Structure 1
Amino acid sequence: MENRLEKGAVAPAFTLTDADGNAVSLADFAGRRVVVYFYPAAMTPGCTKEACDFTTFRTDLEDTGIAAVLGISPDKPEKLAKFRDKESLTVTLLSDPDRTTLEAYGAYGEKTMYGKKTVGVIRSTFLVDVDDKGVGTITDPRYNVKATGHVERLLKDWQTA
């Protein structure tokens, strides 16, 4: 498959626009742990479920030492703002319309959907430790995750790690 990142790999640096038009970089989270997750499209059932679960379990995630959750999709910032506001999301939504960051993380490429091969966003989640210099290390990469129940599984795994 594409450019799959493994545990211990350097997390590709990025600077993307958030739902409010502000630039957000991985390096902004120097010295902290963050979740970086990739989803196909705002305001679709699976993506809504996943984003709402990250919002619902935000305090639990913070209790495991996670400073922020960054959700990345090809959607434009305006759509991300509508999504955030409609669903009362507390995760940071970032726009990657040219798919550069998606591709760097191996979260865009060929996938099977409803039994057919297609090209698109591969729902993926990464736990990233960002050092004091702003360089991230992948500590838990997960590809082809299911939207439903995903955040609860992450919490269970990360609370026992």
Structure 2
Amino acid sequence: MSTPRLGVGDIAPDFTLPTDDGTTFALDAHRDGKVIVYFYPAAMTPGCTTQACDFTDNLDELRSFGYLVVGVSPDPVDKLARFRERHGLRIVLASDPDRAVLQQYGAY
């Protein structure tokens, strides 16, 4: 069975996940704004680190256009907190340990 994928113009399914700073992120609370949700398999790996750092490096410009960036991975929140601290990340880092949101979005 193939994993469903979102298409252009599809409404992103709502989700609420814990974040590394002890709060939660609910997509529904940002429906009136622009949100970039990206998925990555593991914090502190070369490709995922590059991606998160690139979003952080460009965050001021993205914010100037009204974007909020949220990275979602199956990592536990304590690992995400170390990831943020080690690389000076300024984006939202959300934890999906049971991979429910990853599957809902057909991420991988």
**Where on the TM-score scale, by shorter chain, does this alignment land: which range?**
over 0.9
Identify the residue that residue 6 of structure 2 maps to in structure 1: 5
Residues 110-144 of structure 1: per-residue CA shift (max 9 Å, x gap): xxxxxxxxxxxxxxxxxxxxxxxxxxxxxxxxxxx
Q: What displacement does 1:28 show? A: 2.1
> Over alpha carbons, which structure has the higher Rg?
1
Which portions of structure 1, spanning 4 or more consecutive aligned residues, are displaced by more than 2 angstroms? none
Where do 1:91-106 residues align within 5 Å? 91-106=91-106
**Higher helix residue share:** 2
Q: What displacement does 1:21 show? A: 2.3
Identify the residue that residue 76 of structure 1 maps to in structure 2: 76
> Among the aligned pairs, what percent are the same residue?
50
Q: What displacement does 1:65 show? A: 2.6
Number of residue pairs the alignment of both structures matches:
107
Determine the C-alpha separation between the residues in 2 that align with 1:20 and 1:61: 21
Range with greater deviation from structure 2 (24-33 or 93-102): 24-33
Q: What displacement does 1:61 show? A: 1.1
Q: TM-score, normalised by structure 2?
A: 0.94
Identify the residue that residue 65 of structure 1 maps to in structure 2: 66
Q: What displacement does 1:25 show? A: 0.3
SS at match of 2:85: helix
**Higher strand residue share:** 1
Identify the residue that residue 20 of structure 2 maps to in structure 1: 19
Q: TM-score, normalised by structure 1?
A: 0.64
- Measured on the aligned residues, the alpha-carbon RMSD in Å equals 1.0
Uncovered stretches (5+) of structure 1, i.e. residues with no partner: 109-161
Identify the residue that residue 88 of structure 2 maps to in structure 1: 88
Q: Which amino acid aligns with 1:16?
A: L
Determine the C-alpha separation between the residues in 2 that align with 1:62 and 1:89: 15
